Amino acid sequence: MPMLANRIVRTFPKEFASQVPNGVLYELKRQYYDTASASNPTSLTALLSVVPSSQVLFGSDFPFISAGEPASDLMHSGLPVDTVEAISRGNAVRLFGRLDPK
């Protein structure tokens, strides 16, 4: 999505502009994105340059690869610890709070 965001913004049909009064980029930033097949530092940096970390959820592509691999990638991404914790669990708990076992 980060590579397409600008193209989407530029080519969004003007006749639909009234349906997105705050703009396309605003709406893209409100969506949720997962880290499946994109948990490496390059992909995460690109994504976080477009959307806030609050909109990113852990994804693993399980059963195609072990969930441990993308989890390790995320832990070693160089992101701040609180951002990694939010992506790993916190954002999902906030989104699906009723599922929190606490």
What span, in angstroms and rounded, lies between the C-alpha atoms of 77 and 34? 15
Q: What is the pLDDT of residue 30?
A: 94
Q: Tell me the per-residue pLDDT of 19-56, one tens digit each, with 9 for 90 and over.
A: 999 999 999 999 999 999 888 889 999 999 999 999 99
- Residue 53 is assigned to a structural domain of this protein: yes
For the whole model, what pTM was predicted? 0.86
Clarify whether residues 51 and 92 are in a common domain.
Answer: yes
- Residue 102 is assigned to a structural domain of this protein: no
What span, in angstroms and rounded, lies between the C-alpha atoms of 96 and 85? 16
Clarify whether residues 42 and 87 are in a common domain.
Answer: yes
Instruction: Decide if pLDDT at 8 tops 70.
Output: yes
Q: What is the pLDDT of residue 102?
A: 67
Range of the domain at 81: 32-97
- Total domains in the fold of the chain: 2
Clarify whether residues 49 and 14 are in a common domain.
Answer: no
